[in-house]
Structure 1
């Protein structure tokens, strides 16, 4: 006899016809109650506002503002990256100039002016 393990990590043939795992929309066939109709005089409880979608023009203005701010941030990031590359190049140059055979931890004389 074939046993069905509900906790199995693999396919369970017993679930093949389970209503929760179906792609079909059988709700209209199973429902014996008439559909719910909202009352026309319904008022939201105090403190809750109805969701009202923003007008298209307001959305476009918001999007335009966001794009302008993002472009400004991107410009700042490009400048910061250029500054970091310049600083890193200076460090690399300083390391190459250092005398061979001496470690940076060894004392060095200050140059006289």
Structure 2
């Protein structure tokens, strides 16, 4: 199944030849920032650092998606679909990290020297 939804007509984009759905920028920002945020939060030694790591990841992901709508190059549903796909990947990485921690393959908090 493929999607070939045209981009919004709000902005004249002669250089855009790709379809609108889903937003690649939103998806890749969610994949990158949320995955890094989840993994850093797992390794943070205390709760405030865990909250900071994940909050920063969410903030950066939201800013990228909102910018795509603001610039008029994507519909809100395109961005939402990108976020959902990226968040699914981050959840998969989190689940793998949990399994590896339980098996003792990775440490849950950094060792202090």
Q: TM-score range by the shorter chain?
A: under 0.3
**TM, length-normalised to structure 1:** 0.27
**Structure showing greater Rg:** 1
Could you say which structure has the greater relative contact order, defined with CA pairs below 8 angstroms and 6 or more residues apart?
2
Give TM-score scaled by structure 2 length.
0.27
